[in-house]
Structure formats: C-alpha cells, structure tokens
C-alpha cells in the first residue's frame, strides 16, 4: 500500500480519489523534529508552505529507504531543499498550474483594498466608527502596473489588469512571444521601477537582498503601491514601513511575510496596508485543482 503524508492538508476529493486507488493518506502536521521520523514511514510527502523539508529530513528519508516522491502542493519549492533531495535520489515536483488564478485574483484584490482603504475602513467600522472623510482613495483604471515575474501568475494578473483599463509593464528573464500589445510590454527592471504606479511581485524567493529594499524603493515613483503575494523574504519589511511613513510608498498589499506565522508587525495596523495570512491559493477551486494534480502525479509515479 502506498502511504501518503500530506502534512499541510489535502482537498477531501483528492483524499477520496487516492484512497479509492488503494492508498493510505494521513494529514497530520509534524513539527521539524517529528518530521524526521515521519518521512521514514511514507512513500509520498505532500507539503504546502508550512512544512519545510530540509537536509536532515532528506537524510532521514534516505535512511528509512521508503520515501520516493516529495510534492509541493503549490508553485514555489523554496521550502524544500530540492537539489539535495534529487542528489539523494528523491523525485521533487510541484503543482504550478493549479493556483495561478487564485493568487492573481488575490493580488488584484489587494490592489483594490489599498487603493480604496477597504481593509482599514472595514476595521474602523467594526470599532463603531464612521470615518467617511478619511478614506479618499484612488482609481486603478488608467494606472500602470509593473509585474515582476511574468509567468503563469503574472500573466493571469496582467490579463485582469488590462481588462480594467490598466497598462502592464512586465519584467522577466524569459519573454513569452506573442504577449506584447498596446497595453502590455516587457521592459528592463529599472524602467519598470521608475514608471509603475503599482508593483506586484511574482517571483521565487531571491538570494541576497530582498527585491524590495531601500535601494529599489528609491528608484520607484513617489506614491507607488507594492503588492507581494510571492515570498515574504522578497520584501525588506522595515524598509517598506519607513517608505510608508515617509509617503514614498502610498500603500502595500501583503499576503506573505519574512517569518510565518507572522504576528505583531507594525505593518498589520498601518492604515495603508492590506494584509492576509498567506491565503493566495486558499480557494475551493484552487484546492480542488491542486488535489486533481496531486492524484495525477502520484498515480503516474506509482502506476496506479
């Protein structure tokens, strides 16, 4: 029997489909030390963002001799030591297509939230206040959005922004033929920083300095909006806070943070920051698509 440990949960329909194929599926979460024992007992390890699979876990899996496949149920795989796992003979993959629409929609939702003070206004109303005059927002139509990382998620966001009457500047090391048009063009990074009213990040965790730091913020337009639904380490949170206080940055929409779970950050209570707790892929539709892709990957790997 194929044993599957989905340490950060799995869609119920996927569990049912795998069990119908004769698999055993467990959805217990394991702390890092406990995970080293768990990986010795399963054939497949499925993780989302909460579980980190590092060298000690991989060494334990190899020692156990059972684990064959690690799947990141989502896009990025930076919470898995991929190169080391492959070096040790384990297969590592992800589900890059399944959550693109959900993450793109959340990025757009944060744009609206920041532009119209939706998060802050809602919070004050729950406190019994009526501060209509305090929330004089801006419109997205006619703005220029710079999308850093124009892969599946970036393109999904770009289509939505163009439909709203926005212009898209895209930066990516890979340029897809046939996407450029009157309302979308590829540019170099400095041009994107200098000319974007809104900057949305859709890149993996980058080595070295965070992408948004004091230096890059200085290159941006005054009053820029920054959206991050990629990885928390891509933003220097202190530099962002200082730029918000100075007015250089108009507002920010953040779904990810440098340390998660994130608590107590002054960004959370800032009136021009819209925050969510890493829910980019948390829609019923996305989780169902991820589940179907997991079933497909596992079935192909083990000939089910």
Catalytic residues: 231, 260, 278
* Residues 17 and 295 sit within 8 Å (Cβ to Cβ): yes
* Residues 198 and 225 sit within 8 Å (Cβ to Cβ): yes
304, two tokens: 């089910």
Q: Which helix (H) or strand (E) holds 198?
A: strand 198-201
Q: Which helix (H) or strand (E) holds 166?
A: none
Give the angle 236-240-246 at the CA atoms, nearest 5°: 150
* Residues 71 and 47 sit within 8 Å (Cβ to Cβ): yes
3-state secondary structure of 83: helix
**Can you say how many angstroms the Cα of residue 97 is from the centroid of all Cα atoms in its chain?**
13
- C-alpha 187/C-alpha 185 separation (Å) is 6
Instruction: Calculate Rg over the CA atoms of the chain.
Output: 21
* Residues 70 and 53 sit within 8 Å (Cβ to Cβ): yes
Give the angle 76-117-271 at the CA atoms, nearest 5°: 85
- C-alpha 300/C-alpha 295 separation (Å) is 8
- C-alpha 186/C-alpha 250 separation (Å) is 24
* Residues 216 and 240 sit within 8 Å (Cβ to Cβ): no
């Amino acid at each position: 029997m194929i044993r599957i440990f989905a340490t950060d949960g799995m869609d119920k329909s996927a569990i049912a489909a795998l069990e119908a194929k004769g698999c055993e599926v467990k959805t217990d979460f394991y702390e890092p030390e406990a995970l080293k024992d768990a990986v010795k007992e399963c054939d497949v390890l499925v993780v989302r963002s909460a579980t980190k699979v590092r060298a000690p876990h991989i060494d334990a899996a190899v020692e156990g001799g059972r684990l064959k496949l690690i799947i990141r149920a989502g896009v990025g795989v930076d919470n898995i030591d991929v190169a080391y796992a492959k070096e040790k003979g384990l297969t590592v993959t992800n589900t890059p297509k399944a959550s693109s629409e959900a993450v793109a929609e959340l990025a757009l939702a944060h744009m609206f939230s920041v532009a119209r003070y939706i998060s802050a206004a809602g919070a004050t109303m729950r406190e019994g206040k009526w501060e209509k005059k305090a929330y004089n927002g801006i419109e997205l139509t006619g703005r220029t959005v710079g999308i850093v990382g124009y892969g599946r998620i970036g393109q999904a966001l770009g289509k939505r922004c163009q439909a709203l009457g926005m212009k898209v500047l895209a930066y990516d090391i890979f340029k897809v033929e046939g996407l450029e048009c009157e309302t979308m063009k590829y540019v170099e990074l400095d041009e994107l920083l200098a000319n974007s009213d809104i900057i949305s990040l859709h890149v993996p965790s980058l080595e070295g300095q965070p992408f948004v730091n004091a230096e890059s913020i200085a290159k941006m337009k005054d009053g820029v909006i920054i959206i991050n639904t990629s990885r928390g380490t891509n933003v220097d949170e202190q530099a962002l806070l200082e730029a918000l206080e100075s007015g250089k940055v108009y507002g920010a929409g953040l779904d990810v943070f440098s340390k998660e779970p994130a608590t107590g950050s002054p960004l959370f209570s800032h009136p021009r920051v819209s925050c969510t707790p890493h829910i980019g892929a948390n829609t019923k539709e996305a989780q169902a698509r991820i589940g179907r892709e997991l079933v497909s990957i596992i079935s192909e790997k083990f000939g089910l």
